[in-house]
Every structure is written in structure tokens, then in C-alpha cells.
Structure 1
Amino acid sequence: MVVDENADDKSPKHDPNHDAEHTPPLKCLSLGGRRTKTTSQITEKTENEEECQVRVLDKPDKWCIYRVPSKLRKVNEAAYTPQLLSIGPFHHGKPELKDMETHKKIYYENFLARFKKSDDELKQFIKTRQENILRCYAGTIELNKDFEEIIAVDACFIIELFLMNFNDPKNHENDYILRSPWLRKAVEQDLILFENQLPYSLLQELYQNFAVPPSSNFQPRKEVQEQADRQSSTNHDLPHCSPCCRHCLPCCRHCLPCCWWIPSKDHSIEIVQVEPDNDDPLLKLTYEFFKDYSRGKSVKNGVRPKHFTDLVRHFLRPDKEMVFKHSSTPIKNIYAARKLKASGVKFRPLKDVHFIIEKDEATKCKLNLACFRNMDLKLTQFCVKDETECVIRNIMALEQFLYPNKPYICNYFLLMDQLVDIVEDVDLLVENKVILNMLGSNEAVAKLVNRLCEQIMDDKSCYFDICEQLNKHHENFWNLHVATLKRVYFKDLWTGSSTVVGVFVLLFSIIGTIKSLMS
């Protein structure tokens, strides 16, 4: 079901949440009055105590959703924490995220009405898969009577949101989230967070079992409509409510049909084109929602992401496989961009390529002189926006746990961190269009790049050879001085012409002086 590009890495992964000295106290939850023991949990209850469930760490190879370690989280806690929407068990119930719970349930009810299913059917579906769901999460999960409801609501909310997004954009104005670009972006960003995930396999099973073709005369349930109307009527009476409430509109007054059926006024069918080359209909819906991160990259047949963070990494990682080398000691003295430029290295942007760094072999100059050799370093064009840090940090955290043998994104930014020391390095990379700065301040970009790799550990790299060659090129005496000569005396046509004229004047003066002395 899942194509794991890290299949060669079979070593058990360390769970930072279960160090003996850091094990959190268990919370007892009322779940019934029996003692059971399975491969993944132990349930106990005494006469005067409530029942506790403790996860036994028996299948670390199944884990795909982790809590970010505290050391990594402290660098920028907000980047790993949902700001608007909780998905899954890790962040459920936080007071600052409760505003969206009402709207999630509206989407949930719309999903049930769209496919004519009952609440009990959904919860039973989740209950029969509870063991497999739990095995995807690393760490202790507190199980209570609401666990099935939490997972069911979150999963149906996601699918219903994707279905609505897939419909005609003209109808997005009737949807609470999609009608607001700010709100859609906030939800999209929360859905990418590493801790804020549901297993994709669960969403896929849910879609396959419940997403049957809907009838064309679908209408939302009466209670859902009334709830949306109440939310809309109170919207103007709450001037001090959260941003979530201020944008509230009745999201289901004109609920749309499923993505396959989009009838227009004359009952004709509108066919919506999708990008991914994949026969999984849910993956097509997912691609459409996250297409801003795809950069034109499709999802091939056979690719099944573990969750949405993994999907975004798939979009950003290089298409071609690269060789990773292990080194017990990191490469030292990687020179900053401005110093490499001083030795003749030129920086080129790579467009339509996903986070990769390449080096062209040293070539002769246009005059075909062996003494004037150029070195081009090609880097993927890195666009820095407001949400960039959040996305990159979560993908790097993902690679630390799931892809320690193929840390493509970590490698890229570790090398970028070496190239950027001060704001002048960013100025150079921006000038060469390697970095597209949408933040406005190059100093802010320099700080961002320098902080991205804090607490990131990486002993494998696909760029060891490039780094060594860059160091050798910079430390070569001839390269450094020839580059200085070119930069100072031949930087443009006029400077070069003046230099040549000056050299000839000097030569004629010397020849004249010698002739005078000889005569």
C-alpha cells in the first residue's frame, strides 16, 4: 500500500517520548472494567481506580507520526504547533483550537449526508481499525470513549474539505474555509504539520468504503443547516470573537455535489482536469488541495504517502536518486558564498528542480585558456515566504525520523547554511536569483537560513564530494588570484579595455626606456 523509499533502513527508530527519565505520568481514563493485554497496549483497572491504557512500544517500524523532540521544538515552537486546527490525538482538546471544532463537525455531518451514512457506521469503521491507527503514532496515546469520534470527525472533515475544494472555484464562496484565502492558507499549513496528521492509509480506506457516487439532488441535513444558520446569525454579534468566527458563513447552505458530478444550470457535466499521473482518486483530491507545494511535480502511480507531511516532502525532494555517503566527521571550512565567488565560483539557479545542488565541471573560459577555469554551482531556486520556515522545519523533522538514510531536504539546507554566514551572502544569492526573497529583508533571510538547521543531526550527505571540490577550488592559490584579477581589472567591457590600454602603454614605455638606455 505504501511505497517506502527508505525501505533499506530497517533499524528501529528511537522514540524521544519514551526515554526512561522523561516518561510522562499516565492519565487514567474511564474505558470499562476489564483487564486486557494486546501487542500494542495494556489495560488495567482496580476497584478504586479508573482504567489506564499504556502503549507498548512493540512495532517501531510502523510509526510514521511523531512528537517533535523538545530540543528541536524549542528552536521555534510555533512552527510545529497548529494555530487553528487540530488533527489527530496529539493536539486535540487544546483551548486555543476549539473554535474550529464546531466547523469540523459541520463538515463531518455534510460528509455523512453526502454519502448517506450514519454516525454509528463511521465510528464502527474507526473502531475496527483502532489498533492499526494507534500503531502509526509514536508515543503514548490516551484512549478514551471519544477516540473513535475524534478520528472519524477529523478524517471526514479532511475528505469533505478536499471534495469541496475540487469543485468549481466559483462555488467556493459558499464554503466557510475556501471562501477566505487567509483561512484556507491557515488550514493548509496546519494540515502539513508533522504532529498534526492522520495516516493516509486510513483516509484512503475511508474514502474507498464510504465515498460512493452521491445523488444529484443532495441537500444538507436539517440540523446541519440550522447549526450553520445559528453560527451565521451570531457572527455579527461577536465583535471580539476569534478570527475564525469573524469569517464565519453558513458553509452548507448551498452544499455542492461530489467532485465527479458538477451539474450546471442546463444539467450538463463539467469535467475537471487534475494533474497527478495516479489512479488513486483520493490522491488526486489531495494533490489539488496542496498543489501550491507541488511546483508542477506529479504523483506517479504506486506512490502512497504516509501522510500529508510526507506528500509535501515528495513534492520537494529530487526526482533522481542520489548517493549518500556516511562520514564520522563533518566537512569543515565550507566557505561562504562571498568567499567562493572571490575564488571564481559562479552561482546559478536551478528552476523546475526540487531542492538539489549540482556542480558543473571546471571549464575553460571563453578564450579557451586553461589558466582561466570557471566553476558553476547550481542550486534549486529557494523562494522564501512567510510560511517557508514552518513547512521546511516540519519536513526536516520528518526526515530525522523516517528518512535518516535519505535526508534530501536536510542536506540541502545544511549546505545552504554553510554558504550563508552574513547578509552579504544572501545579497549575492539573491542577485544571482538562487534565493527569491518575498520577505523583503535579506537580513531576515540570513537569520532564517542560519536557524533552520539548529538541532538537526545528519551524518549522511549526498554533497560531500561537492563540498570537498569547492574547498579545494577556493584554497587553490592560482584560482583565487586569477579570480581577483578578473573581478578587479576585467569586470566589464570598459574596465577591461582600460586595463588592456594601460598594459600596452606600460609596455611601450618600458620599450622606449630600454631603447633610450641602449642608445
Structure 2
Amino acid sequence: MEDQRAETEPEWADAVPFFYQPDKRCIYRVPNKLRKVNEAAYTPQLISIGPFHHGKPELKDMENHKRIYCENFFTGTLRSKEELKSFIRDRQGKILSCYAGTINQGDNFDFSEVILVDALFIIQLFMMDSENPENDYHILRSRWLRKAVEQDLILLENQLPYFLLQDLYNFAMPVSCFYPRSEVQAQEQDNRQQRCFDLDKICYCLPCRGRSHLKDHSVLTVEAAESVHPFLKLTCEFFNRYSKGKSVRNGVTIKHFTDLVRHFLCPAEEMTWVDTPIKNIYDARKLKAAGVNFRLLKEVGFVIKGDESHDCNFNLACFTSMDLKLTLFCVKDETECVVRNVMALEQFQYPDSAYICEYFLFMDKLVDTVEDVNLLIESGILVNKIGCNETVANLINKLCVQIMDDVSCYGGVCGQLNKHYGISFWNRHVAILKGVYFKDLWTGSSTILGLFVLVFSIIGTMKSLEHNLI
């Protein structure tokens, strides 16, 4: 039986998870130079997670709710509070090594207690949200409150290492589906994921209370268990508004929730990077006048692609058109906060593959005025859910303030656009004529009427001259 267990147990059953082996810091304080651009975007407004913002008076209202969630968690686990706290103490050095920044420890500051309460709160919140988002729990009962907590959980300074949450979940989750407590305790010897046996097949139990679609004892077969860690699945469900159907493959490094959201927003495929920043390109209106067609790219994540085509049978450069394809960018109330924190993480953790920073640096080049925003909305690339289009233009123009752009994955697209603009003089002059004389129905009607008057005047003058000559 032991050999069978060794052959069939999933990788995540080990005490040390395979998703993340912390070898350097991954949770940072946002530098003042970046924070001053929009301080509220980097500061929790409702709830503190981790040591950086713990104890702030404006966040104390949620501390009681966090402890209530923790007490509810203890009712469903076989572990005592002291066992769980000891679990945190044993990993305290490993946890501290993930934080880059001073941790202000007051007289009553108990690091292991703070981390334990926050971690159990998150696990309990995710399980309750997965079981029934409309339940009576204070946070989940109010959609506004749930959304506000979700936004605070994405902030870069408001994180716990993901390996800790996953380890704690493995350590604390009970198996109470088939066996009495005494028998289950006898099976716990190596701090691995608790197991139960179903006849001649090994199965891994999730909490019986945990999943609405696994009501029959919440049993997960070996094959399903190996595909995804149960806590990772809970996490992705909680942040499903950002995943857009994108999954996290086994072996992908997840450092914390900010990193997870970045994973969802990044392109699915690797892109080529060059050691030069994004080149200056013309704004969306001028590119449209030069024959650039803005198309919606139906891919997951923020991606930009350039495709050149020829509409003229003679293949003349002056008649060349180009398609610029961009994935959908939906602007909501929380967009600035989420994007800024992901971009701040990229500046520290992914300076050579900052996909989100590069996307918005490119968008900043495209958008100068409200007219550019209007054009992108008409093209179906941009969706405005915050009201005024001028606000969207200001948001895009300010997102990249104090953001470094030493490398780029869109250098080739920029080169294509600039080359196309340089040779498309015919398209630009036709666009100028359209803008001046046919910008709307009344201007176009007046232009046509004026042309008729001019033609008839010329004909009348010619006939008059002909009559005088005769």
C-alpha cells in the first residue's frame, strides 16, 4: 500500500510546494517617487494584509471581521491555534525573506500572529466564496464590499507569500469525510496533504464544506488532483474576473496575488524583446489618417500586433494599408489601481519582461486627446465604463509616469507604423480633405453644393465668353 501511495500521490502533497521556492524578495514597498503619482492606488483602503500596513488606525474596522473568519476556520480544522502558530514560527525567516522594506514592529507586534490571522482569513474567505458567494458572511453579502476587499488583496504592499498560503492550506485542511477523528489523526505523520482511502483507489479529500460542485464528500480523484492544487483553484475562482478563462499551468511560479493577476494579464505566448525603448509613434488619429486600421485582437491578456496588407492591385506604397491589432481594454473604476500595482511589480521583479508596462507605454503613444479615445472606442478596442472619455485619456497618459522603458517587445510594431506613416502620403492628404470638407453631413452637403455652384459658374462664364467672341 505504501508503494501504491508513493506512485500515485500528486506533487503538491509534499510539505514544500512546487509552485514557488522563494529565492529572493518578491513583496515590495512602492517607492515614494512612484507613489506620489497616485498614492491611493498603492494604499489599502479597507483591509491590511501582511506587516507593511498592519496597525493603521483607518484599517482597524476590518480587524474584528478578520478574527471572526479565523474563528470560523478553527471550527472546521483538526489543528489547534497553537499548532498553526507554531507552523508560522517555523517558517518566519523564510516569510521575512520575501519582504523588501522595513517592517515597523511596535511593542505589541507579534509577527507570527499577524501572519496567521491574515492567512487564515484569506483561506476562509476563498472557501466561503467558492461554496456560495451569496452567503451570510459580512464581506460576501455585500458585492461592493467583496469588490473592495478583492482590490485591496491585489495591492503589491498588501501581500502574503503564496507558498505560505498553500503550505498552510495543506497543513490545516481536515479529512472528515469517511473516518472518525482518531483514525484521521493516526494517518497524519509527515505533515503531508491528509489522505483517505476508497477501496482499491486512492482519493484526496477537499473540505466537505468547500465546493458547491463537489457535494458528494468533495472527493477528488488522483487524476484530477494532479492537475491543479485545490487552493490554487480556490484562488483562481476568487479572482476569476481577471483570468478571462486563462489557467495557471503546473510549474508556473506564483509569488502572491499581484503576481497572479499579472499572469492573467500577460500574453499567452512569449514575445521577442530588444534593448531599446518604445519609439515615438504618431497618435491614433494620425495613424488612422495614414491608412492604419485598428482591429480587435481576440486573445487573452494585453497584446499588440501589427499586420501590413495591400489593398491596391498595383501594390503601390502610397495605397498601402496596415492593421494594428490590440486586445480589448475595458476601463473600470478599479482599473488604475490594479494596473499600477502590476506595473510596480514588473519594475522590481520583471524588468526585462514587463509586458503590462510595455502595453501601456504603447497606449500612451497612441492616445493624446479625447479624439484618440473616441477612435479606439469606435474600433471596439477600448470600452469606457467610468463615464467621461477625457478621464480615460488622462488615465492612459498618467499610467506610465515614472515607469522605466529600457527594453521593449513592441519595437518591431513601432518600426512598422513609422515606416507606414512615412510612405502613406496619399492616404494622409485624402484624410485631410475628408477632415476639412466632409467631417459631417452638413459640412459635406455644403461642400457638394459649393462644388455644383462652382461648376455651374464656370460653365456660365465659358458660355458667356463664347457668346461674346461670336
Q: TM-score, normalised by structure 1?
A: 0.71
Distance 1:490 1:214 in 2: 74
- CA distance 1:368–1:490, shift in 2 (3 Å): farther
8 Å contact 2:208–2:217 — kept in the other structure?
Answer: no
TM-fit CA distance, 1:3 = 6.0
> Kindly tell me: are residues 277 and 309 of structure 1, through their superposed partners in 2, closer, same or farther at Cα, counting changes over 3 Å?
farther
Deviates further, 104-113 or 63-72: 104-113
Name the counterpart of 2:182.
none
Partner of 1:108: 70
Query: In 1, Cα distance between the equivalents of 2:258 and 2:374?
Result: 31
What runs of 5+ residues in structure 1 fail to find an aligned partner?
Answer: 8-58, 217-255
Q: For residue 446 of structure 1, report the CA deviation from its aligned partner.
A: 0.5
Confirm or deny: 8 A CA contact 2:278 2:410 kept in the other structure.
no
| 2:223 paired with 1:279 | no
**Identity fraction in percent:** 60
Quote the Cα distance in structure 1 between the aligned partners of 2:218 and 2:311. 57
Residue 433 of structure 1: how far off its partner (Å):
1.4
- Candidates 266, 270, 275, aligned match of 1:317: 266
Of 368-377 and 460-469, deviating more is 368-377
**Is structure 2 residue 411 aligned with structure 1 residue 459?**
no
Paired residue secondary structure (2:323) = strand
Task: Identify the structure with the greater helix proportion.
Answer: 2
Instruction: Verify the 8 A CA contact 1:276 1:300 in the aligned structure 2.
Output: no
Normalising by structure 2, what TM-score? Answer: 0.78
After the TM superposition, which residues 27-42 of structure 1 pair with which residues of structure 2 at under 5 Å, given as runs? none
2:389 match: 442
1:134 aligns with 2:81: no
Q: How does 1:275-354 map to 2 (within 5 A)?
A: 278-327=227-276, 331-332=279-280, 334-354=281-301
Q: Which residue of 2 aligns with 1:259?
A: 210
How far did 1:311 drift? 0.3
Partner of 1:407: 354
- 1:204 aligns to what SS in structure 2? helix
- Cα contact 2:130–2:211 (8 A) shared by 1: no
Which residue pairs with 1:162 in the alignment?
Answer: 126
Structure 1's 193 and 145: CA in aligned 2 closer, same or farther, altered over 3 A?
closer
CA distance in 1 between partners of 2:28 and 2:110 (Å) = 21
Q: Is the 8 A contact 2:373 2:393 kept in 1?
A: yes
Counterpart amino acid of 1:449? I
- Per the alignment, residue 78 of structure 1 pairs with 40
The residue identity in structure 1 corresponding to 2:73 is F
The offset of 1:485, in angstroms, is: 6.3
Distance 1:309 1:66 in 2: 11
Per the TM alignment, residue 146 of structure 1 is displaced from its structure 2 partner at its CA by 1.1
Write the distance in 1 (CA, Å) between the matches of 2:391 and 2:136: 38
Residue from 472, 480, 488 that aligns with 2:428: 480
The answer for the alignment partner of 1:386 in structure 2 is 333
Cα distance change on mapping 1:191 and 1:277 into 2, 3 Å = farther
**3-state SS of paired residue (2:75):** helix
Q: Tell me if structure 1 keeps the 8 A contact 2:278–2:408.
A: no
Summarize the Cα distance change of 1:443–1:130 in structure 2 as closer, same or farther, 3 Å threshold.
same
In structure 1, distance between residues paired with 2:82 and 2:95: 18
Q: Name the aligned partner's letter for residue 317 of structure 1.
A: C
- Name the amino acid aligned to 1:300: R
Following superposition, the deviation at residue 213 of structure 1 comes to 2.7
Shift of the 381–464 alpha-carbon distance from structure 1 to 2, 3 Å rule, reads same
Q: State how far apart, in whole Å, the 1-side matches of 2:144 and 2:130 are.
A: 18
The C-alpha deviation readout for 1:212-256, integer Å capped at 9, x for no partner, is: 23469xxxxxxxxxxxxxxxxxxxxxxxxxxxxxxxxxxxxxxx9
- Shifted more, 440-449 versus 110-119: the winner is 110-119
Give me the whole-angstrom Cα distance separating, in 2, the residues matched to 1:113 and 1:411: 47
Q: Which runs of 5+ in 2 are unaligned?
A: 1-16, 179-206
Match of residue 123 from structure 1: 85
2:302 touches 2:327 (CA, 8 Å); kept in 1?
A: yes
Relative to structure 2, which stretch is displaced further, 183-192 or 114-123?
114-123
Task: Tell me how far apart the structure 2 counterparts of residues 62 and 400 of structure 1 sit (CA, whole Å).
Answer: 15
The equivalent of 2:11 in structure 1 is none
Distance in 2, Cα, partners of 1:103 & 1:210:
20
Q: Using the alignment, how far apart are the partners of 1:330 and 1:436 within structure 2?
A: 24
8 Å Cα contact 1:277-1:301 kept in structure 2: no
* SS at structure 1 position matched to 2:99: coil
Provide, for residues 300-355 of structure 1, a one-character-per-residue CA deviation record: whole Å limited to 9, x for no partner. 2222310000000000000000011112x6623x2111111111111112234310
- How much has 1:489 moved relative to structure 2? 8.9
Is residue 178 from structure 1 mapped to residue 150 from structure 2 by the alignment?
no
- Aligned-partner Cα distance in 1 for 2:244–2:124: 25
How far the C-alpha of 1:361 sits from its partner, in A, is: 1.6
- Residue by residue over 1:181-217, the C-alpha shift from the partner in whole angstroms, topping out at 9 and shown as x without a partner, is 011001000000000000000001001111123469x
What per-residue deviation string (whole Å, max 9, x for no partner) do you get for residues 73-114 of structure 1? 011100000011100000000000000101101111111111
1:120: Cα distance to partner?
A: 0.6
AA matched with 2:324:
L
